[in-house]
Every structure is written in C-alpha cells, then in structure tokens.
Amino acid sequence: MQQLWDFVSARKQQLLTDSLLHVSAVVQSVVIATIVAVAIGILVYRSPAGSAIATALAGTILTIPSFALLGLLIPILGLGVAPTVTALVLYALLPIIRNTILGLASVDPAVTDAARGVGMSRTTVLSRIELPLAWPSILTGMRVSTQMLMGILAIAAYAKGPGLGNLIFSGLSRVGSPTAIPQALTGTVLIVILALVLDGVLAVVGRLTTSRGIRD
Amino acid sequence: MTDLDTPHTNGSTVSGVDIVLEDVVKSYPGQEKAAVDNVSMRIPAGEIVVLVGPSGCGKTTTMRMINRLIEPTSGKITIGGKDALSIDPDKLRRGIGYSIQQAGLFPHLTIAKNVGTVPGLIGWDKKKIADRTDEMLDLVGLEPGLYRERYPRQLSGGQQQRVGVARALAADPPVLLMDEPFGAVDPITRALLQDELMRLQSDLGKTIVFVTHDFNEAVKLGDRIAVLGNQSHIMQYDTPEAILAHPANDMVAGFIGADASLKQLTLTRVAEVELLDCPTAYEDGSVDDLRAAISPRKIKWGIVLDARDRPIRWVSLHHLATATSLHDLGDPIDEVMSTQSTLQDALEALLAESSASTIVTGLHGEYRGLITIDTLVAHLSAMREEHAHDDEDAEPQQDGASERGTPS
Amino acid sequence: MTAAVTTKPTAPAARRSERARLLVQPILVLFLVVGVLGWAFSRDLTATQKGSLNAANIATLTWQHVLITVVVVVIVVIVAVPLGILLTRPGFTKLAPVFIGIANIGQAAPAIGLLVLLFLATGTTGFWIGVLPIAFYSLLPVLRNTILGLQEVNPAVIDAGRGQGMTAGLVLRKVEFPLAVPYILAGLRTSLVLAVGTATLSFLVSAGGLGILIDTGYKLRDNVTLVVGAVLAVALALLVDWCGALAEEFLGPKGLR
C-alpha cells in the first residue's frame, strides 16, 4: 500500500498527463461517433429495414475483438493515434445508433402530426421536436459508449496509442520489478475511477440539457 | 338548402373564409378502391361544419387534405378563394388551425412555447407573441400567470386539449380543422369543452371543420353536418334539424340512431314553441275572479304569482272552493323551465314529475306559460312536415356522388 | 467487445433481420476463414512465418481460444445465474445493487488491466490466469439480465402459480425461470462475445489463443501473420456470436417466440 502511494505521488504529473490523454481520446471519439451515429440514425429511423440494417452492421462491428480490430488497422493506418481513434469511433457507433433510432422512433406520433399540422417543415420538425425529444435516449447511448471506450482504449497502448493503457503494459513488461504491480494497478484503477467520473459528468450534462417537461 | 338557421355566431364577427372541395379524390397505390372518392362540398365562411361517419369512412382523410397533411390524388381545394394546392404546404398550414385528439402538445416545451409555435414560425416579435399567448390562454379558460410556464405533462387531459385549441387559434387563422379533439376526455369535460368551443365561435366566427364519429356531438356543435359513408361519399349534407327530421337514407338513419326524435328535441329551445296559457292571480288578488277564470277551462288549475310575476303556487278549484284569500293557498311549485332550456330538458322535467305540463319562466324568472307533452309532439310533427318539403326544392349546396334516397 | 446489456429483440422488423443474420453470419465466417487462409497460403511464406502459419499451430491456437471462451462462459453461468436468482428472492433484493455495482466495476475496468494484475499478483501465467479475469469481466451482462428477466415476470403469473398450490421452488422452476430465459440468453450472448473478444488478449499471460498470431505479426513486422491472426479472431468471434444467436432463437420457451 505504501509502495503504491509512493509510486503515485512520485509520478503525479505523468499520471495527470496520461489521464488527460486517455479521457480526451475517449471524449473526442465519442463526439465523432455521436455525430456519425445520429446522422445515420436520422437517415434510417423511418424505415424499419434501414434501421435493422444499420443496427445489425454496427452490432457486427462490436463483435469484433478490439485487439483484432487494432491489429487490422495497424498495417493500414500505422501506429499511434490514427488506428486508436478509428477503432474507438467504430466501437462507439452501435449503442448510439441503436439509441438514436429508438429515441426518434418512440416520439409520440400525435406530436409529430401536430408539429406538421401547425406548419413546421420536415427539417424543423426534426430539429425542434424529434431530436430534442430523442436526446435523453441518445445521451444514454453516449454514456454506454463512453464506458466501453474507456476500457478498450487501454488495449491501444499496445500499438503506441495514448492513455493509461501504457501504464498497464509497462507493468506487464516490468514483471518482477517493484514498480510492476503499482503501475498496472494504478493504470487499471485510474481507468475505473475516470470512467465513473465521466459517466457522472454525462449524467449531469443530461439533466441540464433535458427539458423539464420530459425529465423522468 | 332550406332557410338557414343562423350560424352560431352572433352575426357580426365572421373572421372565417369559405372552403370549397371540388371532385377531390384520394387513392393509395395498390388499393382497389379510393379512400376518398370524388368529394365535392362547400363549407360556408364562419360556420362549424361537422364531418360524421363510421370509422374508416375517410372523414379524417378528407379533412387532412384541406391542410395537405395528405395530398389529394386529384381534385381542387380552394380556401378563401385561393387554390390550396398551389401554395407551399408548410405555409398553408401556418394559416390553418389544427387541433387533434391527443392534443399533440410538444412535451419538452412550456405551455407558452407550445401556444406560441405558429406565431414564432411566422415571425412575430417576442412581445407580440407573449401578449397573444396570454390572450389565447385566457380565451380557453386557463389563467396565463398560472399555466404559462408549466409543461404538458403537468396538465390534465382536458387542460391539454384547451392548450391545443389555444395553439390552433394563436395565429388567428380563418380556418380551424379539428379531428375528434374531444374524443379522449371524459364525458363531463367533453361537454364543457364543447360549450367552450361554441362560446369561442360566437365571438370569433371562424370556419371550423370538425370531424367526429359521435353524432350527438355533431348535432350539438354543427351548423351543418355532412354524414359520410364509405369512401367519404356524402350521404347527406344539411342542417342538424333537417337531417334529424328527414334522414336521407337508411344508413344515415342508422347513424343517427333510434332516438332521432329525442335528439331533435335538443335543437329547439322552449322559447321557440308556443306556450299554453294558464289563469294567474297575485297573492292579494280576488279568489272569485280566479275561480271564474279557471271554471270554464279544461284544466282546473291556476297559478299564484308574487309581486315580481314569479310563479309561487299551484291553485286548484278545489282549493278555491272554501278559500277566502289567496295567501298561503295551494301547493308549492317544484320545477320550472326557463325559456332557454331545450325541449329535451322540458321532456325530462315532464317525465320526472309525471305531470302533463310544466311552468315556463323567462330570463328573470317571470311567468310565461305552460309547456305540455302535446306541445312537444306538435313541434316534432311540424319539423317533419317542414323538412319533407325540402325534397321538392332544389339543393344548391347538397352535392355528393350518391343520391339521397327518398324514404318511403 | 459489445456494450453492456442487451434485451431481447421483439419488433417484427428486428426479428426478421435477426433471422436473416442467422443465415448470413455463418456464411460470412466461412468466407473470412477460407479467404484469409487461402490468401496467406498462396503466398511464399518464409520459414518463420511457416512456423506460425501452419495447420497444426492454427488449429491449436483456435482450440485454446475456444476452450478459454467456453470455460469462461460456464463459470459465468454457474456464478451469475444462481446469484441473479438469489438476488431476486424476497429478502435479498436489497443486495442486488451491491453486486451489480461490483460487476459494473468489473466491466468498467479494462480487461487487460485485470489480466495483467492477476498475473503480477500471482506471479504465474497459464490457463486460469487468463480465464478468471475474463470471467469476472464477463459477469455483468448475465447477472444483470438474469435479475432483469426475473423482475420482468408478471406478478400476476406468479400469483396464479402459487394460487394453484405450487411451492415457491416450483414456481421458480416452472414459471419464473422459463419466462426469464430469453433475457438470460440475450445476456449470455453478450457475455460470449465479450469472452471470445477478451480471450484474444490471453496470450499476454501465456494462456494461448489466436492473439498470439497478431502479437507475433506485430513484433516481427509480419503483416501476413498479423492479418491471419486478426481475421481468424474476428471469424471466431462472429461464429461464437452466431451460436449465441441460435441459442437465443431456439432455446427459449416456445410460447414466447
């Protein structure tokens, strides 16, 4: 325990940097994924076939082991940030697509009928009525994706990706040395803590951005 | 069309415009029969026209073609003289009020934002929208200060419907489309909302197209009723009185239901029928005079009035036989009818008291006359007579693909 | 790696697409396997490559991978299902959030972290050092879905069962559990995919698996071995997911399908 504490306090700066890199990579990937996923969701939500296909494709991506996907991206994109972010964005897609479609499809038809009936154009109905009403669902998808990505990013350190995964792999390679366990442990624990913190932040963001009229 | 009874406006404010449908057809690909087959009708400005018919007859489809939520396959629709099919549909709808059964309020917006939707779309400035919103909420009976910042889910069904109507009226459209707007609330609230609508209409005089499957609602609200059959064919398009007195065919009769005559009684007020007279006297009047007035008559009763001409007691010859004064003489009066009551209320009162006649009073409670069962029956016969003659006159506004069958 | 919980798909279009997937997926797997192996063996392989890319080695690695997956899932089922049942019995329901919380942390923690930590802590490598962390990581979906599935059972149905004289145990066996099975199977499918995916990392603790091909390829800058390992891992994952889908489709009580 003392060893762990020493380890952490000695490397505060480094840990902070790694944490920031980790979180920022995840956040950026989720944001990109959200933009793509919501766009896809908007395109397909009115067609059951389209929705099923989009969901199935994104679901299949999730079946791919992250290490394998990373491996496949390395020959194409090289090492470092590129394959990492690509893999993260791909994985983040399904929960958000699924929830976007779910959220948009569950808007009460009477509401969209009334919206069209009072003279809103299709784009206005989408932007002012359907998307705001689907937002809580989309945000939930983003939360799920964020949690997932925090863990997956750790693997990317294998291909020189950013983040706290590097600590874990460091610990692995230094097996036997006294810093091995503290490194791996710190890396793992920090990821868990940060994941929970991020989830909390997103939950608060959700509360703040959801209209009182639809908040549970 | 017969002589028109006045529309429900007081005649001075008619802010609506007329709507004309010419040979409007709606057919869906892959379906053999058209959903709406060649409907032509004219909806006069400032009137409430109710489209009634069984489920699936196409009445909602027809209405939704007026604001082009459904595009007609062919035909012409004119609103206030302008061709509805040549205007951009979104713009068209901002000029037409739209109120539906589940209200369709936007749950994530406040009541104020809901009501101000169309003015916002049109581009009014904030102050104008805010003022108008308050005005509309007031109009539908919801206190603005209390309800402005609430959310739809905090309101009851009836209140949500009121907001829906407020939203429909906010931009002051000349035309209002209402699709079973009161269908989802309990009967008491429904009656209240119907009365509210009629009150609003008497102030505003809009052209209202109202869809319902409830014939009673149609009779209560409509200046004119279009009874629609399959494929939205117009079975009969006439005033409620005419339809009740003289249904065009069996289908219309079936839709009205077996109690057409009873329904007719809701359409006439006591003030419009002839009342029977009855001998009256004041409390300090002469007993002999009253006795003399009653004796030659068939009904051996008289009425004692107070100083304000209000009836207080029944007096029979029997009471008068041994009386010296009219004070405290006779039986107290239980029920009276006002001239504003409907004939149906009068029938209810007659049946409730198992009596042959009921006293009718005027607006200040003063005695006016008696109403009897005979009066009601005579009235119904007269109605049937009057509308039987309609068949022989030309029907300029009675159009439709199907012929009106003459009942045998 | 899949996301947290899946509930059973019920919308008609979704079901039809699930059925379509049941047919398409194994064909895709076959295509991938044949394709990548055909591609690899059609090239001139160096001796080192042949060391990794030969039928025997590939078969062994695949078998190891499958074994880890199967054992993980067995552990998960043995632990999570009874635990889930227990946590829905009257008296124990308050504990549910606690265990779900623990399983949540298990899922939030990076799988690789868990693997490395167990290795470092025990100082050993091998099969179980790979299996146990992966099992802990894959617990949540099954645990959560078992609880959810049992909670979803209409209380009126349980009431009817008790009313007919069934004991609590019988009601559980004959009524509650069968009704919860679709949810459990959905969770099981998620767990399966998590397990087979994470097992790609088990080579780090010398537990074998196809991941080693990826690692070898990466370290030696040998894209052929790398790609073969990756594609085979993907194919295996799709195959396992397909098995899970079959289970979902055909092992559920007939009346609910």
Task: Extract the tokens encoding C205.
Answer: 């603790």
> Which chain C residues are within 8 Å of A65, Cβ to Cβ?
1, 196-200, 233-234, 237
Q: Which residue has the tokens 């000349």?
A: B174
At B92 the pLDDT is 92
Do the Cβ atoms of B93 and A212 come within 8 Å?
no
Q: How far apart are the first and last CA of chain B?
A: 21
Residues of A in contact with C243 (CB under 8 A): none
Q: Do C113 and A72 touch (CB under 8 A)?
A: no
CB atoms within 10 A of CB A215: 12
* Contact pairs from chain A to chain C, CB under 8 Å: 155
Ranges A184-198, B25-39, C13-27: which has the least confidence: C13-27
CA distance B205 to B237: 20
Rounded distance between C-alpha atoms, residue C24 and residue A63, angstroms: 15
Written as one string, the DSSP assignment of B65-99 is HHTTSS--SEEEEEETTEEGGGS-HHHHHHTEEEE
The contacts of residue C223 (CB under 8 Å, 6+ apart) are A75, C217
pLDDT tens for A146-179 read: 988 998 999 888 888 888 998 898 888 888 888 8
* Cβ proximity of C193 and A49 under 8 Å: no
Residue in chain A lying closest to C202 (CA): A67
- A53: confidence class by pLDDT, cuts 50, 70, 90: confident
Instruction: State whether residue B268 sits within 8 Å of chain A by CB.
Output: no
Cβ C110–A165 below 8 Å, yes or no? yes
Does the beta-carbon distance from C3 to A171 stay under 8 Å? no
CB of B105 less than 8 A from some CB of A: yes
Contacts A214 to B, Cβ<8 Å: 107-108, 153
A:B CB pairs within 8 Å: 76
Chains C and B physically touch (3 or more Cβ atom pairs below 8 Å): no
Instruction: Write down the H helix ranges in B101-148.
Output: 111-115, 117-122, 126-139, 144-147
Average pLDDT over residues A97-122: 92
Please indicate, yes or no, if residue C11 is contained in any of the structural domains: no
- The residue of chain A nearest to residue C224, with distances taken between CA atoms, is A75
Indicate whether C231 pLDDT > 50.
yes
Give C190-216 pLDDT, tens digit per residue: 899 989 999 999 998 888 889 999 999
pLDDT band at C5 (very low <50, low <70, confident <90, very high): very low
Phi first, then psi: give them for residue B391, nearest 5 degrees: -55, -30
Q: Give Cα B208 distance to the centre of its chain.
A: 12
What chain C residue is nearest to A64 in terms of C-alpha separation? C234
pLDDT in the model for residue C257: 53
Whether the CB of B50 is below 8 Å from some CB of chain A: the reply is: no
Instruction: Answer yes or no: are the C-beta atoms of C170 and C127 closer than 8 Å.
Output: no
User: CA B86, B89, B95: angle at the middle one, nearest 5?
Assistant: 100
CB distance B370 to B277 below 8 Å: yes
The model's pTM is 0.75
Contact A116 B93 (CB under 8 A): yes
- Min Cα–Cα distance to chain C from A113, Å: 23
The interface pTM score, or ipTM, of the predicted complex is 0.81
Whether chain A has a CB inside 8 Å of the CB on B28: the answer is no
Please tell me which residue of chain B has the smallest CA distance to A112: B104
Q: Which residue among A64, A147, A158 sits closest to C108, beta carbon to beta carbon?
A: A147
Q: In this predicted structure, what is the pLDDT of residue B277?
A: 86
Give the domain extent around C117: 17-256
Across the interface, whether the CB atoms of A71 and C217 are under 8 A apart is answered yes
Nearest CA in chain C to A190: C109
The region of weakest confidence among A81-95, B270-284, C127-141 is B270-284
Task: Report the domain count for chain C.
Answer: 1
Q: How far apart are CA B333 and CA B143, in angstroms?
A: 41
Distance CA B68, CA B66 (A): 5
N residues, chain A: 216
Q: Please, which residues bridge with residue B77 across strands?
A: B21
CA distance C106 to C128: 17
pLDDT score for B381: 83
Task: Check residue A14 and give its pLDDT.
Answer: 86
A58, A97 Cβ separation under 8 angstroms? yes
Q: How far apart are CA B348 and CA B265, in angstroms?
A: 11
CA pair distance B314, C48, nearest whole angstrom: 123
* Integer Cα distance of A24 and A28 in angstroms: 6
The span from the CA of A88 to the CA of A75, in Å, is 17
> CB–CB of A118 and B107 under 8 A?
no
The overall average pLDDT reported for chain C is 85
Partners of A165 on chain C (C-beta within 8 Å) are 110, 112
pLDDT (tens digit, 9 = 90+) per residue, A16-38?
A: 998 999 999 999 999 999 999 99
Instruction: Look up residue B41 and give its two tokens.
Output: 């009708």
Domains of chain B: 17-265 (3.40.50.300), 270-384 (3.10.580.10)
| Residue C210 falls inside a structural domain | yes
Dump pLDDT digits (tens) for C77-112. Answer: 999 999 999 998 888 888 888 888 887 777 778 888
- CA separation for the pair B215, B260 (Å, rounded): 10
Q: A111 falls in which pLDDT band (50, 70, 90)?
A: very high
Taking contacts as CB-CB distances below 8 angstroms, the residues of chain C near A158 are 218
Residue B65 structure tokens: 């073609």
pLDDT of residue A9: 79
Rounded distance, CA B211 to CA B310, Å?
44
Contact C105 A192 (CB under 8 A): yes
Q: How far apart are CA B307 and CA B299, in angstroms?
A: 25
Give chain A's mean pLDDT.
89
User: How far is it, in rounded angstroms, from Cα C210 to Cα A75?
Assistant: 18
Q: Is residue C12 part of a domain?
A: no
- The span from the CA of B45 to the CA of B206, in Å, is 7
Question: CA angle, corner A100, sides to A96 and A103, nearest 5?
Answer: 135
Contact of B313 with B304, CB cutoff 8 Å: yes
> Is residue A83 a contact partner of residue A158, using CB atoms and an 8 Å limit?
no
SS3 B360: strand
Residue pair C196/C69 in contact (Cβ under 8 Å)? The answer is yes
Yes or no: say if B399 and B43 are a contact pair by the CB < 8 Å rule. no
Q: Which of A98-107, B281-290, C61-70 has the lowest mean pLDDT?
A: B281-290
Q: What is the mean pLDDT of each run of 10 residues along chain B (408 residues)?
A: 40 79 91 89 94 89 92 92 90 92 90 93 92 92 92 91 92 92 86 86 91 90 92 91 87 81 79 85 85 84 88 86 83 80 82 80 85 84 73 46 37
Q: Is residue C5 part of a domain?
A: no
CA distance C21 to C24: 5
Structural domain includes residue C2: no
A112-150 in b/e burial notation, b at 16+ Cβ within 10 A? bbbbbbbbbbeeebbebbbbbbbbbbbbbbbbbbbbbbb
Tell me if A110 and B121 make a contact (CB, 8 A cut-off).
no
CATH number of C102's domain: 1.10.3720.10
Helix (H) or strand (E) holding C93, with range, is none
